[in-house]
Amino acid sequence: MGEENLEAQAIVVGAGPAGLMAAHKLAKEGLEVIVVERGQYPGAKNLSGLLYSTVISEAVPDFPSKAPLERPVCKRAMGLLAPQSFTLLSFGSSKWSVPPHNHTWVVYRAQFDRWLASQVEEAGGTILEGTVVEELFCEEKGSTTKVSGVRIRGEEEPFRAPVVILAEGAVGLVTERARSRLKMRSGEKPQSYGLGIKEIWALPASTIEDRFGLDPGCGAAMEWVGSPFQGLVGGGFLYTGKESLALGLIVKLESMTKAKVSPQDLMEGFKANPEIRRYLKGGELLEYGAHLIPEGGPRAVGQLSQHGLLIVGDAAGLVNASMYHEGANLAMLSGRLAAEAVIQAHLLGDFSRESLSLYDRMLKESFLMEDLSRLKNIERAHMVFPRLMAELPSRFANLLVDLFEQAPVPKREIRKHAFQRALDGLPKLQTLLDLWKMRGMLG
C-alpha cells in the first residue's frame, strides 16, 4: 500500500490464525482489507503444533492438498511419566489415517500462517509485513469515542478504516491500551497465562515412523503429565513432523513461579526422562521458541466489541485451556465471526458497538463459547492438579509395572502387593475429591 492510499474498509492487526481468517473472509466478500503484521512474515514468531481442522476446512475445503502440513495425526497418546516408569494410553482410528485427513494435523506455524496469508492475498486482501501498529486511531463523535484506524510506527498519518479487528495475540499492548482508553469491561477475573515452549528436532522420516509405530506419512501426537511437572499445572507434548519432532511444554506461569522452577530446567528434565529421550535419540535441535497462552477461562474474557472495534483470538482470551489446548482453531473461528459482523456492519453502514456486537452474539452461540464456558471452574481444577500429579502418575505407572512383577509367588500375592504399594499413604478421600474437581479441566 502506498502513501497515497491510507484507507481500507477494514484493518486487521496481527497475521496469526485469528487475523488471517478474518481477513480471508472479508477479502472473499470483496471488502478492501489490510492486515498489519509486525513479524518479517506471518507466522515468523508463532509456535503451535496441532491444527484442528473444523474451521479451516470450511474456509478452504481442499486445504489438505494445498496447505503446508506436516503429518495427519493418525495416533494420539496420553502418558503419565514417573522418573523410572511410565504409562501410555495410545489410541487412534482408521478414519484418521485415510485421505483427505480432515481431522487433526501437525503443522509448523511459520509455514502454515504464511500459506494462510497467501490465501488472503489471493482473495484480494493486503498483508503489510514488518509493520508495527503502535496504537488505535480514535475520533470523538459527541460523547462517543470511535475507532477509525491505526497508528503505525514510523508513519505520521494514521491508516484509516471504519472498523479495526485486533488479532495481536496474547498480552497485546495495543489491545491492553485500547481496553483502557475505550473503557471496555474487563472479565470478572484477571487473565492468567501459561508459558509454552517448543523445540524442533530433526530426524529422518523412517526413524520417526519406526519409533512411533506409524505407517509412512502418518503422524502422532502425545501429551505427557507427571515427572518433571509435579507440583505444577501443565505438562509436555511431542508431535511428529515430516522429518522432525516438535517437543515442548505448556505450564501455568503462576505455578512455575510458586515452585521456583525455571522453564529451562523443566525442559531439560522432560528431555532427560528415559521414555522421552529415546524418541529424540540421534536428533539434532533445530529451533527453540517460547510464547504465552491465555489460560484464564471464560471468566477472564471481557468485552470484545466497541465502536469501530472487535477483538479476536488470543488477544480476546479465547483459548480452550483444557486437555485439548485448542487455540489456533478457536482463533480462526473468532476471526471468521468477527468478519461476518463487519460484513453486516458494512451492509448497514453502521459500525457502532450495537451493530458490531453481532460478533458477541454469534460467539455466544458457537461451540467455542460452549467449550469455554465449561472451563468456568478451571481455577479450582488448577488448584488440585499439582497435588494429584504429585501422587498419581508414579503410583499408577508403578502399579502396572508391579502387576507384571515376576516372582515365585502366586499372582494373587503379586496383585495384593502391587495395590498395597499403590495405595500406601495415599489420602484416598482427598484424592477422590480432587479427581471430582478435575472435571473442571475437561472442557
Ligand X SMILES: Cc1cc2nc3c(=O)[nH]c(=O)nc-3n(C[C@H](O)[C@H](O)[C@H](O)COP(=O)(O)OP(=O)(O)OC[C@H]3O[C@@H](n4cnc5c(N)ncnc54)[C@H](O)[C@@H]3O)c2cc1C
Q: Minimal CA–CA distance to 236: which of 340, 98, 81?
A: 81
3-state secondary structure of 215: coil
Contact with ligand X (CB under 6 A): which of 49, 64, 125, 158? 49
In the region spanning residues 331 to 350, those forming contacts with ligand X, defined by CB under 6 A, are 331
Give the per-residue contact string, 131-170, with ligand X (x = CB under 6 A; - = no).
Answer: -xx---------------------------------xxx-
Report the site for ligand X in 168-187 (rule: CB under 6 A). 168-169, 172, 174
Instruction: Decide: is 17 part of the binding site for ligand X (CB under 6 A).
Output: yes
Given the complex with ligand X, which of 76 and 395 has the nearer CB atom?
A: 76
Task: Tell me, by CB under 6 A, how many residues bind ligand X.
Answer: 41
Terminal Cα-to-Cα distance of the chain (whole angstroms): 43
99: helix, strand or coil: coil
Q: In terms of C-beta density within 10 A (0-12 exposed, 13-18 middle, 19 or more buried), how is residue 376 classed?
A: middle
Please, what is the minimum distance in Å from the beta carbon of residue 73 to ligand X? Answer: 10
Nearer to ligand X by Cβ, of 114 and 346: the residue is 114
Output the smallest distance, CB 271 to ligand X, in A: 15
Rg of the chain taking only CA atoms, in angstroms: 24
198 binds ligand X (CB under 6 A): yes
- Containing 344, the helix (H) or strand (E) segment is helix 328-348
Q: Which is nearer to ligand X, 266 or 399 (CB)?
A: 266
DSSP-assigned letter for residue 157 = S
234 binds ligand X (CB under 6 A): no
Contact criterion met (CB below 8 Å) for 91 and 128: no
Task: Please tell me whether residue 314 binds ligand X under the rule CB under 6 A.
Answer: yes
**Cβ neighbours of residue 432 closer than 8 Å, sequence gap 6 or more:** none
Shortest distance in whole angstroms from residue 359 CB to ligand X: 15
Strand partners, 240: 245
Give me the amino acid identity at 45: K
Rounded to whole angstroms, the Cα distance separating 33 from 25 reads 10
Specify the residue for cell string 490464525: 17
Q: Which stretch binds ligand X (CB under 6 A): 10-18, 82-90, 119-127, 206-214?
A: 10-18
Of 181 and 417, which has the nearer Cβ to ligand X? 181
Binding site for ligand X (CB under 6 A): 13-19, 36-39, 45-50, 52, 132-133, 167-169, 172, 174, 196, 198, 248, 250, 291, 293, 313-315, 319, 325-329, 331
